[in-house]
Structure 1
Amino acid sequence: MKVFSTSNIFSTLATVLAFASSTAAQCAMCRASVESTISNGRSNLAEGLNTGILYLLLAPYLCFMVIGYLWYKNSKKQTAQRLALATRLKSILGKK
C-alpha cells in the first residue's frame, strides 16, 4: 500500500491552496491600522498586508517540502544502489 501517492499529494496541496485565499492572520496592532485605513476608503494596504503574511507563511513550508523531496530522492537512489550491490553479490557468490 502506497500511502504517499502522487494523486494524494496533489489533492492535499490543491485543498490547502483552495482555502489559503480566505486566510487572514494579523497581529492586533496591524489589524487596528488596517481597519482604520479601510474606514478611510483605502483597502489596498489590507490586501498587501495579507498577501505579505501569506508569503512569509509559505516560505518555511516550501523549504521543508524541498528538503523532504530531496531526502526522498536520495533515499530512493541509495536503495537502488544497495539492491544492485546485493544482486551483484548474489550472482558472484552463486557462481562459486
Structure 2
Amino acid sequence: MKKIWGSLVFALILFAGNTASAQCSLCTKTAQQLGEGPAQGLNQGILYLAFTPLLIIGVLGYRWWRNNRESNPVD
C-alpha cells in the first residue's frame, strides 16, 4: 500500500508542472475567449478529471493482478 501512495504522490508531483494540452477543439475556442488564467484552470480541470478514472482502473488492475498471482504460484 505504501508503494501505491508513493507512486501516486510521485505522479502528482510529476504532473504538477506539466503544461499538457487536454482540450478538444470546442474547449480550446472557449478557453481562448476566457483569457490565459481561466484557460489554464480549465485545462488542469480536464487533466484532473481524466487522471481520476485512470488511477482507479490502475489500482483495481494492480489488486486483481496481485490476487491472481498469489492464487496461482509459478514453479
Sort the TM-score into its range (normalised by shorter chain). 0.5 to 0.7
Q: Is residue 2:23 matched to residue 1:30?
A: no
Partner of 1:67: 60
| TM-score normalised by the chain length of structure 1 | 0.51
Q: Tell me the SS of whatever aligns to 2:72.
A: helix
TM score, norm. by length of structure 2: 0.62
Unaligned runs of 5+ in 2: 1-6
Counterpart for residue 44 of structure 2: 51
Residue 63 of structure 2 aligns with an amino acid whose one-letter code is L
Deviation >6 Å, runs of 4+: none
Provide structure 1 residue ranges, at least 5 long, that are not aligned to the other structure.
1-9, 84-96
**What residue identity is the alignment partner of 1:32?**
K
Structure 1 residue 52, shift from structure 2 partner? 0.7
Q: Post-superposition shift, 1:56?
A: 1.5
For residue 51 of structure 1, report the CA deviation from its aligned partner. 0.7
Aligned residues: percent identity?
Answer: 35
